[in-house]
Structure 1
Amino acid sequence: MTADRVRTLFNRIAPVYDQLNTSLSLGQHRVWKQMAVKWSGAATGDHCLDVCCGSGDLALLLADCVGLQGHVIGIDFAAAQLAIAQQRAQARYPQPSITWQEGDALALPFPANHFDAATMGYGLRNVTDIPRSLRELQRVLKPGAKAAILDFHRPSNAMIRTLQQWYLEAIVVPAAQQFDLTDEYAYIAPSLDRFPTGSEQVMLARQAGFAAATHYPIAGGTMGVLVVMKG
């Protein structure tokens, strides 16, 4: 899928993105995102980045970690998603220390060695050049900083893999159909087929220059978090 098609897709699903994520994951996506933020190592006063921030879940969790002494930048190339993220942040009190910025994960508009920690949720699978995205993430992190990348994962267990495929086809797509978003959510299964496995992600992270990389399967192996550290 081209970058323009991905941008169009995420702009189109923005109004119901949070609602569908919550219902289709039975609310578990919030737990997985909390795990990713914890693994990122974000701490009070840190300057953090959330790449492909979407409607802002991970950026808001990062803001809770860094407090008003720190700062978070949420970057995404889908303007409709950013608008919803900004609305959600404005509804909070006190206002979280977050800047929402339109930008490309393949050409991050930040200097090298800039961030103390980073996250990415369900973004790596959708970029058009995964190695380049990882290199950009490695470039903008400070030495010793970590990033946690949450996404779908192909389970090694054949039975769970079959269950995952059934769930995507029989539950996710029909649920999206009621919002006239069948095609937008039908893309998940084929994108997952093309997505590198956990061990392949570790190899790609090493090739991108990260000193350490570990992939943690979660949710029975249907999800995974790639945790990387810059040397």
Structure 2
Amino acid sequence: MTTDNTTHFGFKQVARDDKVKLVRGVFDSVAGNYDIMNDLMSMGIHRIWKRIAVQLANVRKGESVLDLAGGTGDLTALFEQCVGKDGQVVLADINAQMLRTGRDRLIDKGLAGNIRYAQVNAECLPFEDNSFDCVCIGFGLRNVTDKDAALRSMHRVLKPGGRVIVLEFSHPIDPVTEKVYDFYSFNLLPKIGKWVAKDEDSYRYLAESIRMHPKQDELKKMMENAGLERCEYFNMTQGIVAVHRGYKI
């Protein structure tokens, strides 16, 4: 339960103004091991989830894409292949350490010519109206303090006909998967974080933040309230992850 002055940070209630700093601390801590942990946590399946999200974005040659909460650049690299040399991808993240890690990784891959970088807050994007053909936020919306403001901001910077893609951990659609997932999330995941990233608390926050994230139908309604149309979602891995898609008409 949140109020005008508080919000949730995992299962804790914190002052709204403090959440950004707390989330920044989490990602400052995990940035160096982020890719390794993603592979371990998902057994590599996160790469399939990301490819499916990019397919659902239906990005074409010459288009412009904003990759919000882009982290270490996995989605940016995939979108770069879609837009080609005449298009552009902006890798954006609120966390400077994650953004530096993503930039260095993409440069090391030889991907630089049509990629730009921006440190931004998703709630108040510093781009002009109607700037992008696609705005994607992958595994980042749950960390945003004001999700409604972020969705409105994404809608504003979209071109007419553009689409928002939200790739996010979600809620299992059957009780068996939910029980197994809960056991893994709260018993094994923090231990993996402790052993590999030397940071148990950040991965406990990750599990808690997923449980506090809106369910599939609720997020769809939030997207509609932000002005997006033809909103729909696609469950993956029994609803552990979902891709939401909406259009600016």
Same fold per superposition (TM over 0.5):
yes
Q: What's the CA shift for 1:42?
A: 1.1
Asked if 1:111 corresponds to 2:128, the answer is yes
Q: What's the CA shift for 1:11?
A: 1.5
Query: In structure 2, what is the equivalent of residue 185 of structure 1?
Result: 203
Query: Does the aligned pair in 2 maintain the 1:8–1:78 contact within 8 Å?
Result: no
Query: In structure 1, what is the equivalent of residue 244 of structure 2?
Result: 226
In structure 2, how many angstroms separate the alpha carbons of the residues matched to 1:89 and 1:177?
28
SS in 2 for 1:109: coil
2:33 to 1, 12, 16: 16
SS in 2 for 1:106: helix
In structure 1, how many angstroms separate the alpha carbons of the residues matched to 2:159 and 2:111?
28
In structure 2, how many angstroms separate the alpha carbons of the residues matched to 1:199 and 1:96?
39
**What per-residue deviation string (whole Å, max 9, x for no partner) do you get for residues 81-140 of structure 1?**
111111111112353521111110111110111101121111111100111111011110
How high is the sequence identity, in percent, across the aligned residues?
31
What is the RMSD of the two structures over their aligned residues, measured on CA atoms? 1.1
Output aligned runs, 1:155-170, within 5 Å: 155-170=172-187
Query: In structure 2, what is the equivalent of residue 206 of structure 1?
Result: 224
In structure 2, how many angstroms separate the alpha carbons of the residues matched to 1:228 and 1:96?
29
Q: How many residues align?
A: 231
Q: What's the CA shift for 1:188?
A: 2.1
Output aligned runs, 1:147-158, within 5 Å: 147-158=164-175
Q: What's the CA shift for 1:50?
A: 0.5
In structure 1, how many angstroms separate the alpha carbons of the residues matched to 2:111 and 2:203?
35
Output aligned runs, 1:55-66, within 5 Å: 55-66=72-83
Query: Does the aligned pair in 1 maintain the 2:170–2:241 contact within 8 Å?
Result: yes
Q: Compared with structure 1, are the counterparts of its residues 173 and 140 closer, same or farther at alpha carbon in structure 2 (3 Å cutoff)?
A: same
Query: In structure 2, what is the equivalent of residue 25 of structure 1?
Result: 42
SS in 2 for 1:196: coil
Moved over 6 A (4+): none
Asked if 1:101 corresponds to 2:118, the answer is yes
**What per-residue deviation string (whole Å, max 9, x for no partner) do you get for residues 1-24 of structure 1?**
301111121111100000000121
In structure 1, how many angstroms separate the alpha carbons of the residues matched to 2:30 and 2:145?
19
In structure 2, how many angstroms separate the alpha carbons of the residues matched to 1:26 and 1:71?
31
What TM-score, normalized by structure 1, do the two folds share?
Answer: 0.96
Query: In structure 2, what is the equivalent of residue 133 of structure 1?
Result: 150
Structure 2: 5+ residue stretches without partners: 1-8, 10-18
Query: Does the aligned pair in 1 maintain the 2:63–2:87 contact within 8 Å?
Result: yes
